[in-house]
Each structure stands twice: as structure tokens, then as C-alpha cells.
Structure 1
Amino acid sequence: MTPTITYIDELVVRCRQGDQRAQMEIYNKYYKAMYNTALRIVKDPAEAEDVMQEAFIKAFSKINSFQGKSTFGAWLKKITVNLSIISFNKQSKFQNVSYEDQFKYETEEAQGVDIKEEETNSKVKRILKAMKGIKESYQIALNLHLIEGYDYEEICEILEISSANCRTLISRAKESLRNKLLEYEV
């Protein structure tokens, strides 16, 4: 049985042929998600924009190395995460980002917000605020695991650490976040 060819697969084929319209369609489909991914790691809107752009440039220039073992979106996200971590490590000081900037693209299209959504947003803001109060290495690990959805094996590869170190790092990060959330509740 042959695998189903998706619209994205067709766009990738066209990108390999140098079709700029296909590149633009892929960009339009993924740029918001890649911006938000980068922003959660680098914590600076301008830097996140630069990282996102660099990720697309790298993806399009290396499109022939995309083997289809994962979805194109997952491949692009991995490029974005790797570039974000490199950028984050180069930053000399931590900068605060307002919640409005952090969810810039995610909330643009939101119209009405009901009470349940407001309550959820309040919890999310509390968690994000607490995350800013923990060690940077913990923030990165939790972003990759809880927000980006990477499994332990992928995080080991991205951060270049052993499986045992990865599990310990995430466990300690979760515990640190729990403690920080308890501080905010007092």
C-alpha cells in the first residue's frame, strides 16, 4: 500500500524544484507556529522573528535533505528549536517579554472570550510567570517537553545530554515550577 500524498508533500516537491510560490504557501502555513516556538525559547520578539526567518531559509536551502521520515512541520520545528537554543545560548542577558507579545499571533484572531477561557488564560499566565522565575535550563527543558511536545529521546538529542540527565533535568524542572507556583498562591 502506498502512502497518501498530502498537499504539504506536493508543496515540498515543488519547493525542491525551486517554486517560490510553494515556498510562500509553506511559509504562510507555518510561520505563526514557528514564531511562537522560537519566542518561547528566546523570549524576545525581535529575536524570535529573526530565528523564524533563519529557520525557513535553512529549511528551503536544505529541502533536499528532508527525507519524509517525519512530517515537514515536525522537521521545520526541529530546525526552529535548534536555532532558538543556539540563539538563546548566545544571549548575554535575560529579557522579559510581555504576555501580549508572547501570544501575539495566537490571539490576533480571537474575538470573544467567555469566562472559562478567561479562567484558563489566567492559569496559563500564572504558569508562564512562574516559569520565568525558574532556572533557564529548566525553562528550556519544560518548553521542549510540555509546550512543544518533544519526548525525552528528542530532548536528549536537541540538548545533547544523556537520557538519565534529561529525565533528571525535566523532573527537577517540574518540581521547581511546582514550588514557584506554590509561592505565587501564598
Structure 2
Amino acid sequence: MEKCKTGHRNSQYRLYTLYVDAMYNVGIRMLGNKEDAEDIVQDSFVDAFKNLSAFKYESTFGAWLKRIVINKSINHLKAKRIPVVPMDTHEFQLKEEVNEKVEAVAIKNVKAGIDKLPHGYKQIINLYLIEGYDHNEIGEILDISPSTSKSQYHRAKKKLVGIIKTL
């Protein structure tokens, strides 16, 4: 890391190869578009290497870089005027099935279900379930309150369950 901070290109390339695939996966989950994800990841690495002096080892480099990728992805979506978290545009009437038998769900069905979610719900599910952010962090990332993040997550999860049942 210290060599990267001094501009050592081989060290930067090694760091890049360690993290590029993981960051691409983050980008593709956030943006849903291969070309946009590739652009965002490249821009994120450029910014990260330009600003390595700001990296203070308070987290891992991967966590710091992932935050850059997520923030750039959200800014990209905002620039395209795609709503990040639609609040009132989707109303679903879901019935609670408390005593329903729990079934194993294939990963491919979960992925397919996530792909069918409205974009804002997809972001919340990805940030919470896949990226592992808590609701306070999601609130900061998306510029919403933690309670809004929680309610959107629960709505998204219910919608996801409904979608998966139809697959």
C-alpha cells in the first residue's frame, strides 16, 4: 500500500488485479449494465489511486474502494435521473403467511427475482443483503434516513419473496 501511495505502478497494478473483479460485481449489482459498471469501476480506481493519501487505514482498502464504487454508481444513476429509492411509486398488497412451510430456494431464482425488482428496491437489497451494509450506512449512502432504509428493505424483501414464488 505504501508503494502505491508513492505512485509505484507495479504495486498499483497488483492492487488493481486483487480488487477489480469484486468491484465490478458491486458495480454490476448497482447499475445492472455491464458497460456502465466497467466505466464506474475504472473511474473509481483512478480516483482511489489519485486520493490514496486520504486512505488512513481506518478500514480495509477493499471496503474503502467499495464505498467509492457505490457512491460513483449512485451518482451515475442520479445523473441518468433514475430514481434511487422510489418511495410511493409502488404499492403492493402482500399477505403474511406466518405458518407457511419454508422451502429451499435456488440461488438462480433469488438472482432472477432480484433482477425483476424495481430499481430502488434492487439497490436496497444489494446494499443490505449482498454488500452487508447496515441501515445507518445505507441511509448515508443513499441520503435517506435509516428508518426509510429499513422500510424500503422490508418492502423489497416482501416483493422479492412474491417474485420468487412465481418463478
Bin for the TM-score computed over the shorter chain? 0.7 to 0.9
Give the Cα separation in 1 of the matches to 2:147 and 2:132.
19
TM-score between the two structures when normalised by the length of structure 1: 0.74
Question: Runs of 5+ in structure 1 lacking a partner?
Answer: 1-11, 94-119
Counterpart of 2:131 (choices 142, 148, 166) is 148
Q: CA deviation at 1:92?
A: 6.3
Aligned-residue RMSD, C-alpha: 1.7
Question: What is the Cα deviation at residue 16 of structure 1?
Answer: 1.4
Post-superposition Cα deviations, 1:93-123, rounded to whole Å, max 9, x if no partner, equal 8xxxxxxxxxxxxxxxxxxxxxxxxxx9x82
Matched, 1:63 2:46: no
Q: Does 1:166 align with 2:149?
A: yes
Per-residue CA deviation, residues 59-118 of structure 1 (Å, 9 max, x unaligned), is 00111111111111100011011111222333468xxxxxxxxxxxxxxxxxxxxxxxxx
Partner of 1:112: none
1:100 maps to: none
CA distances 1:101-151 after superposition (whole Å, capped 9, x unpaired):
xxxxxxxxxxxxxxxxxxx9x822211211222221100000111111111
- Alpha-carbon distance between aligned partners in 2 of 1:179 and 1:51, rounded to the nearest angstrom: 32
TM-score (norm 2): 0.82
Letter in 1 for 2:11: A
1:9-55: CA deviations, max 9, x gaps?
xxx21111111111101001000000111011111111111111001
- Within the candidate set 14, 25, 30, 2:19 is matched to 30
How far apart are the structure 2 equivalents of 1:144 and 1:53? 20
When you count helix as a share of all residues, which structure comes out higher?
1
Counterpart CA distance in 2 for 1:90 and 1:123 is 35
Q: Give the number of aligned pairs.
A: 146
Note if 1:136 corresponds to 2:125. no
Name the amino acid aligned to 2:27: A
Matched residues in 2 for 1:69 and 1:183: separation?
Answer: 44
> Which structure 2 residue ranges, 5 or more long, are not aligned?
83-103
Q: Which residue of 2 aligns with 1:75?
A: 64
Match of 1:41 among 30, 38, 44: 30
Secondary structure (helix, strand or coil) at the match of 2:106 reads helix
Q: Does structure 1 conserve the Cα–Cα contact (< 8 Å) formed by 2:135 and 2:147?
A: no
Sequence identity of aligned pairs in percent?
A: 35
Matched position secondary structure for 1:89: helix
Give the aligned residue type for 1:40: R
